[in-house]
Structure 1
Amino acid sequence: MPLTLAFVSTIRAERSGLVDHLSDPDGLTAWIHRHAADLDIDPGFTATEELRAETVRLRQAVRALFARAVAPAPPSRADAAELPDFEESLALVNARALAAPRVPQLSWNGEPALVTVPAVPVEPSARLLGALATAAVEFLAGPERAALRTCQAPRCVLYYLKEHPRQEWCSTSCGNRARAARHYREHKK
C-alpha cells in the first residue's frame, strides 16, 4: 500500500464507530514506528502533541486532495463535511514538501541503487511532515491516482486503489457487507 494511502487510512470505521489512529501522540508514535523506513525516521522517535496536531492537519489536507481526486464520485464519508478548503490544502501540502525536500541519490553497495534522502538537514518532525507531503504529491501526480476510489460499503470510510475492473469495494469484507445490506433492503419490502 502506498505510504500516502496508509496515511489517509489512519481514520477508519470499526464496529465501535469512527476511529482516529492519530488521536493522541502515542497513536502517532506507533504509526510512525510501523512506517519508519518509508519515512526515514529513527524507529525510536517519539511524537509530541504539537507534531500530532500538525500531522492531523496535514492528513486532513491530503484527504481534501483525495476528495478532489475521486470527484465526481463522493469523498470518504468519514470527514467530508470537515475537510479544509481545496486551495488551502494544496498550499499546505506543497509547503510541507518544500520545508523538508527529498532528493534522489545513488547508493552503491555492490550494485547501484536509487535512494531518496533529505536534501538538507532538518529536525525529525519536519522530515516526517516533509516525507508525508512528498508521498502525497508523488501519489497524486502519478499514475496510481487514476485508480483511487472511495469505498462505498456501509460504514466504510477508506480510500483504496481499484486493482480490477469489477472491484467496487476496498476489501472482501466490505463487499460482503455491501451485498448483505443490499439483500436486506431488497427483501425488507
Structure 2
Amino acid sequence: MSNIPLPPAPGSDTHVSLALADSVVSLPGGQSVDELADPAAATSWLVDHDLVPAETVLLEYCQQRLTGLRRHLREVFAAAVEDRAPESGAVDALNSALRQVPSAEMLEYTPELGFHRETAHPLTQLVEHALARISDDAAALLTGEDARLLDACQAPSCDRFFVRTHARRRWCSTRCGDRVRAARAYEKKRVSAS
C-alpha cells in the first residue's frame, strides 16, 4: 500500500458513495492506496465523512462490511458507466444495507432543542446506519441528475469513478490527465525520432 495522497475525484465531495468507491485506487507501477486498509483506517474514513461520531472504534468485522459495500458500489458504478447489468447480488447488497436501518425519524425532546425529529440508532448500529446512508446516496446518484455524468477515469491504471464536471472531461484528476498527455507526447516524440 502506498500513502500517496490523491486529490478527491469530482463528485466525491457531494456523494459519499463515490468517495467510498474511490477509497481504494490502483496507481501506476502496481501500487495501490486503500483508505480502509484496517479497522483504524476504516474508522477514520467514517469519522472524516461524518458518518459516525469521533469516539467510534470499529472492529475488523465492521471494516469488512464496509469494504464489502465498497466492492458492491464499484460494481454498480462500473455497470452504470459501461451501460450493462450489474453482477448478481450487487444491487441486493445495497438494498440490504438500506433495509437495516429504520428510515422514519423519531420524535425527540430535549431542553436545549425542544421537540425535534432525528434518526435514532443505538451505538451498536452505527455501522448499519453508515452503510444505509452510503447506499442511499448511491441509489440517489444512480437515479438522479448526476447519473448521466458518472464516469470512470480513462487514464491507464487508474480505476476511480467521478462525476464529469464538463462533457469533455475523461480523467478523475489533473494528475491523471497530465500523465496521459505526457505519455502521448512521449510516444509522439519516440515515433518521430524513429
Query: Does the pair score TM above 0.5?
Result: yes
Deviations 1:107-166 (A, max 9, x none): xxxxxxxx9953765721211221221221121121111100111113322101111122
- Which secondary structure does the structure 2 equivalent of 1:123 belong to? helix
Q: What one-letter code is carried by the residue in structure 1 that aligns with 2:165?
A: E
1:93 to 1:157, Cα distance in 2 relative to 1, 3 A: same
1:175 to 1:103, Cα distance in 2 relative to 1, 3 A: farther
Q: What one-letter code is carried by the residue in structure 2 that aligns with 1:11?
A: V
What does residue 176 of structure 2 align with? 174
Residues 154 and 177 in structure 1, CA contact (< 8 A), matched pair in contact too: no
Give the unaligned 5+ runs of structure 2: 1-12, 108-115
Residues 75 and 87 in structure 2, CA contact (< 8 A), matched pair in contact too: yes
What does residue 95 of structure 1 align with? 96
Matched length: 168
Percent identical: 29
Max Rg structure: 2
- Superposition pairs for residues 14-163 of structure 1, below 5 Å? 14=27, 17-36=31-50, 39=51, 41-72=52-83, 86-103=87-104, 117-118=118-119, 123-163=125-165
Deviations 1:25-74 (A, max 9, x none): 011011011012xx2x212111110001111111101110001110149x
- Which secondary structure does the structure 2 equivalent of 1:155 belong to? coil
Give the C-alpha shift of residue 94 in structure 1.
Answer: 0.4
Q: What one-letter code is carried by the residue in structure 2 that aligns with 1:96?
A: A
| TM-score, with structure 2 as normaliser | 0.76
| TM-score, with structure 1 as normaliser | 0.78
Residues 3 and 135 in structure 1, CA contact (< 8 A), matched pair in contact too: yes
Partner Cα separation in structure 2 for residue 3 and residue 117 of structure 1: 20
Residues 105 and 117 in structure 2, CA contact (< 8 A), matched pair in contact too: yes
